[in-house]
Amino acid sequence: MPRPALLNNVDHHDLRVITARGAAYGDEVMSALTFPAEFRSLQAHYPIVFRKSGDGTTFQPIALFGFQEGSNLFLDGERWDAHYLPLLIERQPFLIGTAGEELTVHVDLDSPRLSTTAGEPVFLPHGGTTPYLERVNSVLLAIHDGLASIPAFVAALLEHGLLESFVLDVELAGGSQNRLAGFYTINEERFAALSGEALGRLHGAGYLLPIAMAIASLSNFRDLIERQNRRHVRRP
């Protein structure tokens, strides 16, 4: 569990953040939460699917990195093998907090990324923010706004019956079988059959592009299978 603390230039004056990728830093994950405004950047690399929320009342979009928990097929040692790093991954070890109506930045004190000797400095010697922290602030703001947009987007998908469950059976090069289940995708045929009025409402809400990007992203399952095969072959 994270141990968040309000970031400040007194207690965290010497704080540095290790930005290298790797399992030791918590990157060996199957997926990351995302949001509609990020779909365009994600769709070139990752399948975008949906999962039910923890309470089962709605759905959340995620970018998939692998076929099972604890497996990230984009992680190659200390290298993330894609040109775009999802924002929910990039923001670590920082979190968004609130103080009344004001957004605040917190840092997970238990994160293995924290250091006082290695990595990117968070504050300048005189206490000002570094370019790295400015980037973190912009990432956190994008995440905050993006997550707030999910409920209305999902409601529109459900209104038009566009979400459907799917099962993907994967046969690896060695003959072993894997099944990916429990996720949902946007039904392309139902989307194509929508009336002009429905499409107009989706366009007016800014949802046509993210819907198209999510559908296009499903072609990345082929790459994900190839990545799984390569990892399977490398195993001793």
Transcribe 107-134 into DSSP letters: EETT-TTEESSSSEESB-TTSPBPHHHH
Q: Where are the alpha helices (DSSP H) in the chain?
A: 39-42, 87-90, 131-159, 188-192, 196-204, 208-217, 220-234
* Residue 60 to residue 31: CA distance in whole angstroms: 12
- Answer whether residue 183 shows pLDDT above 60: yes
Q: Is the dihedral of CA 208, 211, 213, 215 positive or negative?
A: negative
pLDDT at 174: 66
Is the pTM here over 0.75, yes or no?
A: yes
- Answer whether residue 48 shows pLDDT above 80: yes
Q: What is the pLDDT of residues 82-115, one digit of tens each?
A: 999 999 999 999 999 988 889 999 999 999 999 9
- Residue 60 carries which DSSP code? E
Q: How confident is the model at residue 219 (pLDDT cuts 50, 70, 90)?
A: very high
* Residue 234 to residue 65: CA distance in whole angstroms: 18
% the chain with pLDDT above 90: 82
Q: Are the C-beta atoms of 86 and 143 separated by less than 8 Å?
A: no
